[in-house]
Structure 1
Amino acid sequence: MARLILFNKPYGVLSQFTDRGTETERQTLSDFIAVPGVYPAGRLDRDSEGLLLLCDDGRLQARIADPRFKMPKTYLVQVEGKPADASLELLRKGVRLKDGLTRPAEAERIDAPNIWPRDPPIRVRKSIPDSWLKLTIREGRNRQVRRMTAAVGLPTLRLVRWSIGDWTLEGIAPGEWSETSAV
């Protein structure tokens, strides 16, 4: 049976086990997970937080990460501004980015979620309000959610991946992980 680890990746941590080629060493997965033979199924940017799945089975890894399988990934996104209905509709239809049209996303306004504070905190501007969105995509282009929200006039301030398929962060604190059975 495949090993599957659900990790709540903190802000500033690289989605890899080593950090080569930089003068200052950055935090990596090896600072949190000492389980041999598991590898990330997909990535989260250094400035993003939340669910990262790690497994020891190549086929499962591909099923999770490969856009062909259209596994839903849900993000809680704090954006600058108040999203208009038209902006949400654009996200739902697909957004034109430099690398082409995105697949349609599920997008809705949500109240601020009850999650951990970010360290360091986001920048706050008194003259510009911020809002939260719940966004579900079924592909995984580089920095896709950030580029999508920016394309509709809502720059991302904070990005937390909450779930991948049926796996969620529920009950997992930042920097912590749990092992579950692969389905």
Structure 2
Amino acid sequence: MEFNFEEFKVQGTKFNYYYICKRKLWLFSNGIAMEEANDRVQQGKITHEHSYKIKEGNKEKLIDGLIKIDILEKENIREVKLTSKMQESDRMQLLYYLYYLKQIGIIRRGTLNYVKEKKVEQVILTKEDENKIEKALEGIKKTLALARPPKVEKLPYCKKCAYYEYCYIKEVQ
């Protein structure tokens, strides 16, 4: 059975959140946005805006109103991140962008650029990655269909999350 991408495609942020925390994904998707007041999020935005001197036309390309590619080059797309602390979710988000572009007939390679660490990781989409992305998109759809947010799952990075206070106020059972 062929995967129907049109039925499952989502914003890049939602794809990233799926790998970070399914509760955060659900809250964000249901209009509970805590990022604007978070210092770490603001620091990341400022760093992103001032990190690379690129021709203006190549920066922040919004595609289909869903994915925002940080830097678009002829052969490559770049995703700019502050640090590599969320390396798996960063890598999966970039792979999702590569997969998304492939679905619309654009083939590119990817690069993760970690500004603070001056670290660069090359990313190439494989068939195995495509299968993983399709399974994640199915998981995202299931998570978003829930009537209530998933239960709090204590993760090592919770205290630095924009949703920390929201999640750790005692839930009504």
TM-score scaled to structure 2, two decimals? 0.28
Which has the larger helix fraction?
2
Which has the larger strand fraction?
1
